[in-house]
């Protein structure tokens, strides 16, 4: 009994500590381990994915593409929890907790390495411990002759196709990885970073002409303000489709698009409609006309019958919702392009507007909708999502700035929040995501919309020229309302 009383007391105390006062004076609880990115003792990790969110093969000499930078402060000195040899770990080298089947399998090895790095970075907290922010980098090249990617989760043999970028054998490679360990500079500035290129054999220090590049530098004044994450992403002829995001992922379970147990920052899984996302975003370079900059991308996983995912890739379906703020992104959804629209739109007062209602449907609020390839009862016309780029089938709802999103605090017109218009956002992501169409089998109980990944960044989608994007993210928080 006494122990239970103690537990209750600690529980209440943690609840109080975890509550911060929202703008409206209402009490909010943060879903992330580091609310507003204000904690000096940073926890950040890195993961690189191939076209279907796996590793495939490690880049020579780089180890498995999972790494982290986590430290504690002892006075003015940094005690790093991750050693260089931890970040360098690669297939064939054992580490604590690694299962024998994963030792020589690059995909499984990376998934286990993430758990291992997580165990080193973990911070005790309520209701669950948490591990790190996640920098995610993805190479969109797909060698259809490699046999590396499934179709809607089903293993398929190699096939010939001209539909995907690939310069030839090896185009799905992992990048080089260079780590500038966080250090204290000038007595009160903490700074560190990750960077590299997909163009193996080239050195970004000799200039970026003709090569791909990624960089995330984090910086913070000790004891004040937020961490500031400065991102750079550059495509090249050989790597025309790249993605770079900063993610708050679930600390347990499958986070969006990933079929292995993950580690992350979301110690509570936010559920629609009861959460908001706060952040500051300052975009310096857009990344060209094909850069689908996501002022919030949310990912989850549930089955077409509404049940949560359980790791069965044939029936699990990744669900994404993304607001694209590049004003050069057109609405593919239109009165003459119903195939690119969801079947209906739901207004803030819960009215359904069907896409054939040309007088009322907000076509220009939707860039593109695509349905899961394994759905059995789709309304036609319909566009199916790319079956290869996730470990399982996926469904994507992509939005564009439009006045109808005003109720949720999302951008209401093209250009808002874009280059030169850096601002802070308070997005009612929970409210909006509760009123989006997602496919479900007829007669099944609606899925609980729990989001296991919330991220910001850009996807430069098959650019014709070398393109560069640059942006700064800070003050990121997920508030349970
Ligand atoms: C519009 O679409 C809905 C749902 O598919 C359908 O029930 C309705 O008959 C359609 N209306 C017209 C005028 O085609």
Q: What is the pLDDT along the chain (481 residues), one digit of tens a residue?
A: 444 445 445 455 454 555 544 444 556 799 999 999 999 999 999 999 999 999 999 999 999 999 999 999 998 899 999 999 999 999 999 999 999 999 999 999 999 999 999 999 999 999 999 999 999 999 999 999 999 999 999 999 999 999 999 999 999 999 999 999 999 999 899 999 999 999 999 999 999 999 999 999 999 999 999 999 999 999 999 999 999 999 999 999 888 888 999 999 999 999 999 999 999 999 999 999 999 999 999 999 999 999 999 999 999 999 999 999 999 999 999 999 999 999 999 999 999 999 999 999 999 999 999 999 999 999 999 999 999 999 999 999 999 999 999 999 999 999 999 999 999 999 999 999 999 999 999 999 999 999 999 999 999 999 889 999 999 999 999 999 9
Q: Answer whether 0.85 is exceeded by the pTM.
A: yes
Q: What is the pLDDT of residue 404?
A: 98
Query: How much distance in Å is there from the Cα of 435 to the middle of ligand 1?
Result: 20
CB environment 158-185: b (16+ within 10 A), e (fewer) = eeeeeebbbeeeebbbbbbbebeebebe
Number of H helices, E strands in the chain: 4, 21
Could you tell me where the beta strands, DSSP code E, fall in 189-256? 189-196, 213-221, 224-234, 242-249
CA distances 247 to 47, 291, 297, Å, are 10, 18, 9
CA distances 219 to 104, 194, 285, 455, Å, are 36, 12, 19, 19
Query: How much distance in Å is there from the Cα of 356 to the middle of ligand 1?
Result: 6
Ligand 1 pocket test target in 354, 378, 439 with most atoms within 8 Å of CB: 354
Taking CB atoms and a 6 Å cutoff, what residues make up the pocket around ligand 1? 354, 356, 379
Looking from the CA of 275 toward its CB, the CA atoms found within 13 Å total 24
Going by CA atoms, what residue is nearest to atom 13 of ligand 1?
Answer: 356
Cβ neighbours of residue 28 closer than 8 Å, sequence gap 6 or more: 19, 20, 21, 22, 479, 480, 481
Any domain includes 347: yes
Ligand 1 pocket test target in 356, 361, 380, 442 with most atoms within 8 Å of CB: 356
Atom of ligand 1 nearest to the CA of 344: 4
Query: How much distance in Å is there from the Cα of 381 to the middle of ligand 1?
Result: 12
Query: How much distance in Å is there from the Cα of 106 to the middle of ligand 1?
Result: 49
Residue the block writes with tokens 């992992």: 174
**Overall domain count for the chain:** 1
Going by CA atoms, what residue is nearest to atom 3 of ligand 1?
Answer: 354
Any domain includes 35: no
Query: How much distance in Å is there from the Cα of 359 to the middle of ligand 1?
Result: 13
Query: How much distance in Å is there from the Cα of 246 to the middle of ligand 1?
Result: 41
By the 8 A CB rule, do 213 and 221 touch?
no
Atom of ligand 1 nearest to the CA of 356: 1
Query: How much distance in Å is there from the Cα of 182 to the middle of ligand 1?
Result: 58
Any domain includes 436: yes
Q: For residues 83 and 137, what is the distance between their CA atoms, to the nearest angstrom?
A: 22
Read off the DSSP letter of residue 59.
P
Going by CA atoms, what residue is nearest to atom 14 of ligand 1?
Answer: 356
For the chain, the distance separating the N- and C-terminal CA atoms, rounded to the nearest angstrom, is 32
- Neighbouring-strand partners of residue 130: 123
Residue the block writes with tokens 């392009």: 337
Cβ neighbours of residue 143 closer than 8 Å, sequence gap 6 or more: 164, 166, 168, 169, 170, 171, 172
Any domain includes 443: yes
- Domain of 307? 40-480
Cβ neighbours of residue 41 closer than 8 Å, sequence gap 6 or more: 70, 71, 72, 73
Atom of ligand 1 nearest to the CA of 357: 1
Going by CA atoms, what residue is nearest to atom 7 of ligand 1?
Answer: 354
Atom of ligand 1 nearest to the CA of 379: 5
Any domain includes 46: yes
Query: How much distance in Å is there from the Cα of 316 to the middle of ligand 1?
Result: 30
Query: How much distance in Å is there from the Cα of 478 to the middle of ligand 1?
Result: 38
Tell me the H-state helices in 122-227: none
Going by CA atoms, what residue is nearest to atom 10 of ligand 1?
Answer: 356
Any domain includes 75: yes
Any domain includes 7: no
| Exposed / middle / buried, residue 99 (Cβ in 10 Å: 0-12, 13-18, 19+) | exposed
Q: What is the pLDDT of residue 256?
A: 81
| Exposed / middle / buried, residue 93 (Cβ in 10 Å: 0-12, 13-18, 19+) | middle
Any domain includes 2: no
């Amino acid at each position: 009994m006494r122990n239970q009383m103690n537990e209750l007391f600690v529980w209440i105390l943690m609840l109080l500590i975890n509550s911060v006062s929202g703008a409206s004076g209402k009490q909010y609880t943060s879903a992330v381990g580091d609310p507003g990115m204000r904690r000096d003792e940073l926890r950040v990790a890195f993961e690189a994915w191939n076209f279907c969110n796996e590793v495939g093969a490690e880049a020579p000499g780089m180890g498995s593409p999972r790494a982290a930078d986590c430290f504690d402060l002892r006075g003015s000195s940094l005690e790093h929890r991750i050693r260089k040899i931890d970040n360098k770990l690669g297939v064939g080298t054992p580490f604590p907790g690694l299962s024998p089947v994963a030792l020589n399998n690059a995909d499984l090895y990376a998934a286990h390495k993430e758990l291992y790095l997580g165990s080193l970075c973990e911070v005790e907290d309520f209701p669950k411990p948490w591990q790190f922010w996640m920098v995610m980098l993805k190479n969109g090249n797909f060698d259809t002759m490699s046999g590396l990617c499934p179709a809607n989760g089903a293993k398929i043999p190699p096939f010939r196709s001209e539909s995907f970028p690939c310069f030839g054998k090896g185009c799905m490679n992992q990048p080089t990885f260079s780590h500038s360990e966080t250090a204290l500079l000038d007595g009160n500035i903490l700074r560190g970073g990750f960077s590299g290129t997909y163009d193996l054999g080239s050195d970004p220090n000799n200039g970026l002409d003709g090569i791909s590049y990624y960089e995330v530098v984090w910086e913070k004044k000790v004891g004040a303000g937020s961490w500031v994450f400065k991102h750079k992403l550059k495509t090249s002829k050989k790597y025309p489709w790249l993605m770079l995001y900063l993610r708050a992922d679930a600390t347990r379970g499958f986070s969006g698009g990933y079929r292995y147990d993950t580690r992350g920052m979301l110690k509570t899984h936010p559920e629609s409609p009861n959460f908001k996302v706060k952040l500051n975003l300052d975009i310096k370079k857009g990344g060209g006309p094909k850069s689908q900059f996501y002022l919030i991308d949310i990912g989850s996983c549930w089955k077409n019958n509404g049940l949560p995912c359980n790791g069965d890739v044939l029936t699990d379906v990744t669900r994404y919702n993304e607001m694209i703020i590049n004003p050069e992104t057109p609405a593919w959804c239109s009165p003459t392009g119903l195939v690119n629209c969801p079947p209906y739109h739901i207004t803030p007062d819960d009215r359904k507007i069907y896409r054939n209602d040309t007088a009322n449907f907000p076509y220009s609020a939707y860039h593109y909708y695509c349905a899961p390839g394994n759905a059995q009862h789709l309304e036609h016309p319909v566009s199916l999502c790319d079956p290869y780029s996730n470990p399982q089938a996926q469904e994507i709802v992509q939005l564009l700035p439009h006045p109808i999103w005003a109720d949720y605090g999302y951008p209401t017109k093209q250009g808002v929040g874009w280059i030169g218009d850096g601002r802070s956002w308070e997005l009612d992501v929970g409210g909006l995501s509760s009123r989006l169409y997602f496919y479900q089998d007829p007669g099944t109980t609606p899925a609980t919309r729990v989001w296991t990944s919330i991220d910001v960044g850009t996807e430069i989608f098959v650019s014709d020229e070398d393109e560069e994007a640059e942006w700064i993210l800070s003050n990121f928080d997920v508030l349970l309302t």
